[in-house]
Each structure stands twice: as structure tokens, then as C-alpha cells.
Structure 1
């Protein structure tokens, strides 16, 4: 039901870290959607797609783990689970059973900044699906603490499966803490076991009543539908819902780290290769000057989106120092985030050599080798990639989840125009501004029997069970 964490090959750790933190999507050149706002504040986006008599429906709430109470981290994710446990009208497992009878499918996910409920059904199933979605926006029904216990057990098992059984989980949790000293992006969306145990009936219902209100939600429908009929259904089921006081996100903001670099290392017998990652703090997209976000997107593509990257050719194909290199983490978020330069070492290669070569190769290329041809090719590949989503109702619907970050439907459907306007000078400028400096966090992952960090950099672990001691964490002032 929930899609918080996913498995990942060892050589793709940079993508694991990025996907762990945020749900990020690419944009397609979309048909102009129909948008409307109901009198209760519900934002509605309708996109016609005539490929099959099916509709993809998404209900998006602007609430995620970063909005949870400090003592009950993961409460938004837990509430996501409870949303499938019935209302007074549609009791028990009725939602899932009805979707199954319609021949449809459903899912949901919780990230730091949003909770998204998604459903795909034949067009004739749209009325019942919309009725159920409207009903559970206000009608969640469970009576007492005992009703929570079975789902708490489910979430504990989910954490066990997705975190404790993941060879990278401890490194990622330590990495998050190193990146975010105060901000709630520094905890996993599913929370920790003691958080899960702390969930109470009152806190769940308070959270639900505060955030699950039409003026804090968006309804997205993509598919083969009659617009007039669908709008009538939406108004029938959602118009009667009263808006609550508009919830305000109050999150502790991360202070300036004043040039501190934190180095983390993990020796893991299940890790077949040595990985190094440098992480740099960047502002949330809405704080950036015009054009910077798009320039970072193009830069990310140039540095390591594929084996056509000049950096990949140098370090992987020609010098054979690495199996994989790249830049990741550029995407939308409510608050400031991190972008990452990373490499997976080739067997028997020296860590110190790749540390020096990775950063110097990128630096020299951006400052002296980057030209208009590179920018043009990168933009072409990005824009060509957008077209694939045209064939995918679910992909189109997922794009509009970025409404949770404050974008408008027009912002989403015109992203290609902003990418097209990106220049060489802009790409060089964002590199200098955000990456041509010491990283805040350096992460090393290595096989158990290979020494990858000079012994002078390793602190002797103490007999403690904290996450940082398990990882042989190292705090240094250089990278």
C-alpha cells in the first residue's frame, strides 16, 4: 500500500538516497488541463487521455512526515494506512473490495511533503470511486486505541522489511541525520519503532482533522471521460464537504552549517563495491532565482544521467576508475534539500584516487569544456524523454503531485519551455554557486574486507548501540 522505500542495486546508491527523501518526477509536454477550484477550496485538475476507457484518479494532501509531531514521526504514513480501514458508510475493507470488483487497482504513498492516494478504474467505476474518496476525506471511522494495534504491527513489519533488511538502511539513516541537524527531513518517513509505538487515537484523529480538508487537497483525474459529467460528479460528492481552517506548516528550519563537513563510512558485507558520495545543500526550488532550478536539472543530466555523459566517458569508459558516476537529487521540495555527486569504484581501485579524480574531472569539464553542444544535447534528451509520459495516464497523474510543492498546473505543463531556455552560462553559474565548494556530507560505503579509509580518519567505535557508532562515523573539517 505504501511506497516509501524501494530496493536498489548497490551501484545506484545515489538514486536510493534521492528517492528515499523525496518523490521527484520528470515533466512531459502535456495537453492543457482543465482546472477549477471548488467553493471549499479543493483544487481540481482534469486531463483528457483517450487511449483507453479508463481513468486514473489521485487525491493529494499537502501533508507528510515533515509535518508530523516530533514525538510521533511517521504519523502521516500511519494515517495513510488507516485511510483504507473504512468509514461509517463504507465499512471495513469496502474501499479495496469495491475497487477490486470494478477491475481496478489502488495504492498510496507518503513522502516528507505529501500524501498521495491513487486509483485506476474503468470509466464506469469513476462515480463510486469519487464517492468513496469524498467520504473518507472526512468520514474515517475507528473507535479506540485497540483499533490501532493491528495496523501498528503492520507498520512495524513494513519498517522491518524496508529498513532493517536493507543493507543500506543504517547508512541512509545516519546520512539523513548528518544532513539535517534540526529539520524533520532528517528522519525516515516511516519513523522509528518508538514513534510507531507512541501513536494514539487522539493524535491520529487530530492529525486527520487538521490536514485532511478540501482546502489542503487536490483531486487529479486523467483518462477518457466526459468532462461535463465528471465535473458534475466532483461537485456532487466534494462540494458538500466543509473546509477547515487552512493548516499551516510549522517546521524547524536548518541553520547554516558554517562550512562543516561530516564524513560517514560503513563497512558492509552485503555491499559488493565501494561507493563515495558528496552531498551539497541547495535551497528549495521556490527560493532559487529564475532559471536556476532548470539549470541544475540540465547540469544533473550532463554529469551523469547516462553513459553518454562526458564525465562517465572519462572516469568509467576511458580511465576505468569507476563503474558508475553521476549527479542526483535535483527535484522539488517544500524546504531546502541536498544534491549529490557520487561514484561506484571499479574493483581494486584506490578510494583516494577516485576522490581526487571525481571532483577535479567535473570541475575542469564544467569550467573549461562545457559548451553549447553539451547543453543542446542534454536539453534534447530531457525533452525527448518527456514524450514517453504521454502514453501513460498514471505518469501524467503523478506529474501533478507536484501541486503539493506550490506549483500551479501551468507551471507543471510548461516545464519544457523553461528547460529549453537554459543557457551555458546558467549551468556554469549554478555549478559554481552550489557545487564548487566543500560538501557538507561525505558518505563512503565499502565491502567488509576492503580498507577504503585511511586509518587516521577512523574513530575507534565505542561499545554503544547508536546508529552513528554502528557506522564508524567520522566528523572531519575536510573532504
Structure 2
């Protein structure tokens, strides 16, 4: 599983400086806004296409997002969506094994792919004059993979090794990004082991892979974004030429991925013999995506855990000295925009063996119990400056890859990639009363799940 890093510090600093000039909400609203150019249309076979021009550098991004992620993989095939991501690099009709990677790299480009909760994505960043080549290559593997038992067996071994290295044999492996959904959620689709049980990975058959590809890797289950320096009319012609005659598939009905309202606080302990000190994660179920409370939670995330001036960082790091690594956010496998189903707002930290869990939770309660009374318009304005900086950082970072991500996500989940230009406005609509209402419903103790890592090795050493 790969993590995509899309942020560039220079743009972030620039936006922070711009934000620092904002003195009140009225002035904030008059600050100039950057609008992302968006051309959106759908091919006859159902492929959603988003074009966004940016001639600041002679590069182009091709991003293909398939509407299949961890969440809805087959019940007896955990980790299957991630395994299939690996299969997409094993060869297609005209490109042999690993030739796709060589094609990109030998043309001066970079590429990657990842599996997330609600999509699997692939992207290439290349010099602009190689755009047509990349469109052809992506269409070639959408049209048909070279799916063989040899390739499958090889990638099963690769993924199993990845699980062992990143989770099973790693201190705090899977904590909390992989662990917490399994504890906090009730619906299997949201609560199973996304990385995959080793037995399930072994059980995947060639027939499973063929059926998965035929079902989910179809143009009517995908979005294609092209971002960068290109001629729009020419690019539309290439997209029609290479993708237009790929047949659509009959898509199965989507399973119910809803999550019941949590009515009772949960707390769990995970023993970890490789950890050297305890760790703690706290999670709350998020409001419904795109609701007023959803945007309020985005601001509360900034207030509570984002940056050195956030309330929990100030309390746990600066005042109490319990930790030096408080971090958190909405959607640990992406951001608060690129998911579709139920989600958790979460934060985590490690702390010294001499510090008790009760001490840490007590300090957290000091912050949370006074949060509703302390929220005012000035606090929201500062949170808006921070989230605006983060948003612009995402849109402009890494040659526009963050822009491609949002465009594809909004096309897949909302059929409206132009939402990228209304996000700031939605955050501005959030008032103090909406935030307080959100705190009452979504940051209540009965909506909370706590997961503590117990470092067995450290405890054993201490007792000897």
C-alpha cells in the first residue's frame, strides 16, 4: 500500500502568510480566491473525464480512479482490492510485465498507485509531450490485463510480505489506521482487515482476479483526470481515440455500507510485544459527508489537532509534556474529501511508560469538556485560515496531483468535480451554533472509541 505525498512547503507558507493578513471574517471573505479550471464530460461508455489546465510547468498528470476500494471487496477475500492494485502492473495487451513502469520512467516520468477506502487509483506525471503515450498506456490496461497464474502467485507473495513487514513485524503495526476501523465500526464492510488476512490472500484464485477485473475495472466505474499543460481539444481527441471503444460493464448493486449510531463508549487494549512505550488513539464517527456538521468537523479538526496551536497539542505536548507526537485527522488514508462511506475523526499519540493512561485521558477530558463553551467566531476564523492553507497546498502540490485527486473523487462520488471550487465557501458557512451542535452530537463520549497499545516487551523488561 502506497502513501501519496502531495504537499509542498513553499505554497503552504505562502498561503499562511496570506491567511495571516486576514483580520476578521469580512476581510476573509474578500480575499481573492483561486478557481480551478474544470472541464467535465462523460464518454458514451460511461467513463467520467475531467480536464484541468495549468501551464505553470511543462508537465501533465494522468490519473485514473476506479470506484472500488477496501470497503466493498469480497467478504471472504480480505485484502483483495489491494492485491488487485498490484496486478495492474503485471502486464496488459500490448505492454508486458513491468513494461508499463519502464515506459513511464524512460520517458522522464513518475508513477504510483494506491488502494483506499472507496477507490483504487493510478497516476503518471510526465513531460507534457508524452501525454498521449500515457493515455494510450492507461487505456491499454483498462481494456485488458495479462492475468496469469504466475503473475497472481508472484503478487500474492509480494502483498503477504508487505503485510508482514508493515503490520505483523512492525512496532505499532497497523496502529491506528488499520486497527481503529475494526474496533470502532460495526458493519463488516467498514470493520474488516483491509490489508488482508494471509489465508484470504492465499485463497484468491485466477477466476477471482478475472471476475474482479471484469466487474470493477470498467470505464463506467472509473474517472480519468488530466491536469497540467496540454491542449484541451487535442487531449479530448486522444481520450476518445484510446478509451472511447472500451466496453462498459454491468455493475453490481452497491452493498449497504452504512454505520449505526454509536450509543455506548468503547475502549480496547492491543498487546504489542514490539512496542517500547504505550500508545493511545481516540476516534469519533464523522457526520454525514457534505452536511453542515461535516464541514464543522473539518474546522474542529483544525482547532483540536492540526498544528502547534491546536488545543490537544497545546495540552498534551506543551503543557503536560505527556507526548511529542500528537497527530490526527479525518481519514488517515487520505483527506476529508476523498472518501464516500462512513468515516472516523481520529487522533493518536505515544507516551512514556511512567505516564498512566488515566493521566492522558484526564488531560484530554480537560480540553473536550470545555470545548463547547470556548468556541467563538475568532476561533473559527483562525481554523478557516488553517484549512484554507491546507486546501490550497493540496490543490497546488506535487505538480497538481492533489488537484487530480480531488477532481476524480468528486467525479466518482458526487458526479460534480467542480465542487473543488466551492469547498472554501462551505467552510465559511459554518457558524458557532453549527459547531456547538456538532460537538453535542459527534464529540459526545458515547460516540467515542479508545484504543490503547500495551507494550508487553517494555513491561516485561521493567518488571525484571
Aligned: 1:357 with 2:363:
yes
Q: 1:84 to 1:435 in 2, by over 3 A?
A: same
* Secondary structure in structure 2 of the residue aligned to 1:72: coil
Question: Aligned to 1:441, which of 443, 449, 461?
Answer: 449
Q: Find the aligned partners of 1:80 and 1:194 in 2 and give their Cα distance.
A: 18
Q: Is the 8 A contact 1:321 1:349 kept in 2?
A: yes
Q: 1:371 to 1:134 in 2, by over 3 A?
A: same
Q: 1:280 to 1:373 in 2, by over 3 A?
A: same
Shift of 1:314: 3.7
Q: Deviations over 1:249-297 (max 9, x none)?
A: 214544455425232243545334x3322222234415xxx32111100
Shift of 1:234: 0.6
Q: Find the aligned partners of 1:271 and 1:56 in 2 and give their Cα distance.
A: 42
Counterpart position of 2:401 = 394
* Secondary structure in structure 2 of the residue aligned to 1:119: strand
Q: For residues 56-67 of structure 1, what are the structure 2 equivalents within 5 Å?
A: 56-67=61-72
Length, aligned pairs only? 424
Q: Find the aligned partners of 1:285 and 1:363 in 2 and give their Cα distance.
A: 25
Q: Find the aligned partners of 1:212 and 1:445 in 2 and give their Cα distance.
A: 38
Question: Aligned to 1:46, which of 51, 59, 65?
Answer: 51
Q: Is the 8 A contact 2:109 2:126 kept in 1?
A: yes
Q: Deviations over 1:51-73 (max 9, x none)?
A: 22111110010001222111112
Query: TM-score, length-normalised on structure 2?
Result: 0.84
Aligned: 1:336 with 2:305:
no
* Secondary structure in structure 2 of the residue aligned to 1:339: strand
Q: Is the 8 A contact 2:182 2:193 kept in 1?
A: no
Counterpart position of 2:11 = none
Counterpart position of 2:195 = 190
Shift of 1:352: 1.5
Shift of 1:139: 1.4
Q: For residues 166-181 of structure 1, what are the structure 2 equivalents within 5 Å?
A: 166-169=170-173, 172=176, 174-181=179-186
Shift of 1:373: 1.0
Counterpart position of 1:425 = 433
Question: Aligned to 1:33, which of 19, 34, 38?
Answer: 38
Shift of 1:101: 2.1
Q: Deviations over 1:211-245 (max 9, x none)?
A: 11111110011111111111111111111112122
Aligned: 1:3 with 2:2:
yes
Question: Aligned to 2:156, which of 117, 140, 152?
Answer: 152
CA RMSD of aligned residues (A): 2.6
Q: Find the aligned partners of 2:225 and 2:243 in 1 and give their Cα distance.
A: 13
Counterpart position of 1:457 = none
Query: TM-score, length-normalised on structure 1?
Result: 0.81
Q: 1:115 to 1:30 in 2, by over 3 A?
A: farther
* Secondary structure in structure 2 of the residue aligned to 1:328: strand
